[in-house]
Structure 1
Amino acid sequence: MDGLVRLLELAYSARSVSVVDVMRLGFEREVQEERGWFSFLHGWCVHVADRVAYLDAIIQELEFCSSDMFVAQLLVELRSGDGVVLADSIMYFKAIRDFETKKLANMQLFLDALAAHFGRRMQFLARFNAM
């Protein structure tokens, strides 16, 4: 029943009972939806890439402070055992960065697959627009 309701809604929106017009509208809607997902995912990839760059900067600063404790003492008050805290912090931020890097790689693969799928939908839409 859902399929029939969807078909009637498409026919009403297309203002036509022609199968070609209904299919064209259906493909146009699918393309719009895919375009929205593609844009959202691309924006999310940019966000994750920025996060990875931010984590890299934190790691570099922590490693610099860890290797030169005098600089670290100028920035903050160090107590005994703070060297261990710095080392743990570096490992923690590296683990987060590695996770975000893998997430970015997976999202990029998904974005590539979505782009290919989007291209196929655009081809179908072009066929119906040519009719």
Structure 2
Amino acid sequence: MDSFVRLLELAYSADSVSAIEIMRLGFQREVQEERGWFSFLYGWCVHVADWLAYLDAIIQELEICSGDMSVARLVVELRSGDGLVFADSVTYFKAIRDFEAEKLANMRLFLQASAAHLGRRMQFLARFNAM
């Protein structure tokens, strides 16, 4: 029933009962939906890449502080055992960074697959536009 309702909606939107017009409009809508999804996914890739850069900066600062306690004393008031806290913090942020880097790699693979899928849909739509 859902497919039938969608078909009627497409026929009404196309202002035509021609099967080619209905199919063209259907594929055009699919391309628009795919472009929206692709844009959203690309935005998330940019967001995660920015987050990785931020994590790298934190890790670099923590490594400087843990490697040179005189620098760390300028940044924070140290107590005995705070050097261990810096080392644990570096390990913690590196684990988060590794997870985020893996997530970004997977998202980029998904983005490539989405781009290929969008390209195929656009080619199919071009065939109907040529009719």
Q: Smaller-chain TM-score range?
A: over 0.9
Which letter does structure 2 place at the counterpart of 1:126? A
Structure 2 CA distance for aligned equivalents of residues 66 and 8 of structure 1? 67
Aligned to 2:126: 126
Structure 2 CA distance for aligned equivalents of residues 4 and 68 of structure 1? 70
Structure 2 CA distance for aligned equivalents of residues 90 and 32 of structure 1? 44
Aligned to 1:28: 28
Structure 1 CA distance for aligned equivalents of residues 88 and 76 of structure 2? 17
Aligned to 2:71: 71
Q: Is 1:88 the counterpart of 2:88 in the alignment?
A: yes
1:63-117 alpha-carbon deviations (Å, 9 max, x no partner): 0011110010111110011011101100010000000000000000000000000
Deviating runs (4+, > 2 A) in structure 1?
Answer: none
Unaligned 5+ residue runs, structure 1?
none
Secondary structure of 1:102 counterpart? helix
1:49-75 alpha-carbon deviations (Å, 9 max, x no partner): 000000000000000011110010111
* Identity percentage of aligned residues: 80
Aligned to 2:17: 17
Which letter does structure 2 place at the counterpart of 1:25? L
Once the two structures are TM-superposed, the CA of residue 47 in structure 1 deviates from its matched residue by 0.3
Number of aligned residues:
131
CA root-mean-square deviation: 0.5
Unaligned 5+ residue runs, structure 2?
none
- Which TM-score applies when normalising by structure 2? 0.99
Structure 1 CA distance for aligned equivalents of residues 84 and 68 of structure 2? 14
Once the two structures are TM-superposed, the CA of residue 29 in structure 1 deviates from its matched residue by 0.2
